[in-house]
Amino acid sequence: MSDPVVDRALAHEHGLSDEEWERILDILGRAPTYPELGVFSVMWSEHCSYKSSKTLLQTLPTEAPWVVEGPGENAGAVDVGDGLAAVFKIESHNHPSYVEPHAGAATGVGGILRDIFTMGARPLASLNSLRFGPLDDPHQRFLVRGVVAGIADYGNCFGCATVGGEVTFHPRYRANILVNAMNVGIAQIDGIFRAKATGLGNPVIYVGSRTGRDGIHGASLLASSEFDEHTEEMRPTVQVGDPFTEKLLLEACLEAFQTGAIVGIQDMGAAGLTCSSFEMAAAAGTGIEMHLDRVPQREEGLTPYELLLSESQERMLLVAEKGREAELARIFDKWDVDFAVVGEVTNDGCMTVYWKGEPVVAIPIDPVSKNSPVYERPRHAPADLAERQKLDLTELDPPADLSAVLLDMLASPNLCSRRWVYEQYDQLVQSATVIRPGGDAAVVRIPGTRRALALSTDCNPRYCSLDPYLGAMHAVAEAARNVAVTGARPLAVTNCLNFGSPERPESMWEFAESVRGMADACRLLETPVVSGNVSFYNETSGEGAILPTPTIGMLGLVDDLDHVLRAEFQGPGDAIVLLGETFDEIGGSEYLSVHYGLERGSPPRLDLPAERQLHTLLRTAAGESLLRSAHDLSDGGLATAVAECAIVSGTGCDLGPIPAGRRPDLWLFSESATRALVTCAEADLEALLALASRLGVPAERAGRTGGDRIRIGDAIDVALGEAEAAWADTLPESMDA
């Protein structure tokens, strides 16, 4: 079958604009071939080129003395001591997971794992951030089951522990769920590999699974456009994953790295062979000559267009030292992984692709990759924003029964136990897990050391909808705080920025404000952004866009495993101490949503210098063994946090009365930032309060652990068993509905 006629109309079908079509004609001096049109369509897609976000992303802080590798490579890396680096990244697989939840989520995990071991790191731990519509919708329950099973099946079979993350529910995700996957691995600092095609005449080598027709146009059409009535027709663009093949590919690559024969390597992810080859050549300032008929294929009759655009999983493109092909081939053959020399590095700055001896692609590298289109999109705030930010607390009648309110809060889908989700994941494989899922942050041991990594994913989309600048700052601050309450020092950030169409000024404004807030928070907290991903077009015709969701993946370092803190109470008889100040702040809160059915107001204020001092206090107190436990106060406020500590530990508590003059419900369920609930032995209370005073962190004794009830003054008195039932049963009962 011959290729179709390439013209402006066909370019439109490939997602290219009139301006981009004219630009292609100028670059080539002619009309492109059909395979060349495919190349331009994927390389200039929003997903691959970042054409609407690039200029804003350049405002993020990316440097610090401990940063080994910043944005631009497959993943970021930070120094964690002893010549080791933590390599980490978070990425989205949103649209594929809505279209085909099991396969979409599974290949999202597979893709992020490859990003990590492409850098020369062995994957150590995975996290995920998941957003769905309400659970009373049967289709949402289908999506939840499929996504969770896909994450579990791939991670469990591959052999990488899934140790943390978040799951939330909101109507704005009903027609466009979010599935963000994060992974961290460990590498030798001097053994990190980069995606560069260097060395004239060096062989370009294809390794991994054979190429099929799955995933074609996944980047350009599925990931770079909004959903419409044709969504279900996109199933063929979802890749099919094989975790067992990926495990073999991992081991083969890590062994090959030890030979010193590999000079560059890139995962074949979005846009497959096209993106990996163009990016490697662009990074090195070289060119590549490639022969598509040498590519291992699993289907009959694949065309050059299909081979270039396929997103079949578990594949890598590497460049090796010339003359060492046989040495590498033996390694990949031992691991039963396909290996084929498909081309060589040139010095002409062009991508020249042959099919059975005939040229089918001849494109200069830089105009397609380095100098791809960049757009300054129009942006303005949503017209109803000022109205949504209004909240008069005097118009809200206080509830009569605060114990009942607490039970309602604990049973909320956004606050209840996530055990139904994370019990499906292997949390312990590789024996590095110190704190399992369910706490503020996961903690994993750095193999061969007494140090550990603390890992968290965080974002409050309601905050970001009401004030994207402040909401993004909160996402960074809470992620850092969640890491700090384990006793870790927050080190660096990876982000996954999920938004609606950049062609809508409201979405573009939300994105710009979120990036501005993230930049300011990361700068003040000294947590540079070292990797990440932008996911636009998360909206559906007739349904609107998702809530702006700039998810933060935070990595922190614990210097000594003996000083790791857990969230739950450690037993009866300890003093409970409240760190930080509580204000009447319920704008965008879970309490306002659960009890009053409202989503409005402004997010809580945020004092970032005070936030840093709180982190310093937590880390210092942990290092001096003054603390027995520590828990972040955020969603649901103080009452919910106290209940969580009591439920998980099986130890009740008795807190003092509501401060005089304060409205009880606002004090109990306020989501004021920069707070933590800690416990200490009675003998250490005076030293803890003195340390807090020296560091300028407000601290007061709030109560004592013990008993089988949760008591807070005369406002709340709930049996521990009743609280646990409310908290533990929501997800299982909802999923069984």
Catalytic residue among 14, 93, 170, 615: 93
Distances 456 to 166, 358, 432, 479 between C-alpha atoms, Å:
9, 51, 16, 6
CA–CA–CA angle 209, 305, 283 (5° rounding): 70
Who's near 508: CB < 8 A, 6+ residues apart? 52, 377, 378, 379, 502
Under DSSP, the state recorded for 303 is -
Distances 571 to 21, 407, 723 between C-alpha atoms, Å:
68, 23, 18
Catalytic residue among 14, 47, 170, 595: 47
Q: Which pair of tokens denotes residue 373?
A: 């289109």
| Half-sphere exposure in the Cβ direction for 526 (13 Å, CA) | 13
- Tokens 């493109």 label which residue? 317
Backbone phi, psi, residue 720, to 5°: -60, -40
Q: Are 290 and 353 in contact (CB under 8 A)?
A: yes
Dihedral sign of CA atoms 680, 686, 687, 693 in order: positive
Under DSSP, the state recorded for 724 is H
The number of beta carbons lying within 10 Å of the beta carbon of residue 686 is 11
User: Does the annotation count 12 as an active-site position?
Assistant: no
Distances 37 to 13, 179, 233 between C-alpha atoms, Å:
11, 30, 22
In 122-273, where do the E strands start and end?
122-132, 161-169, 178-188, 203-208, 262-267
Which helix (DSSP H) or strand (DSSP E) does residue 731 occupy? Answer: helix 720-735
User: Does the annotation count 474 as an active-site position?
Assistant: no
Q: Which residues are catalytic?
A: 47, 93
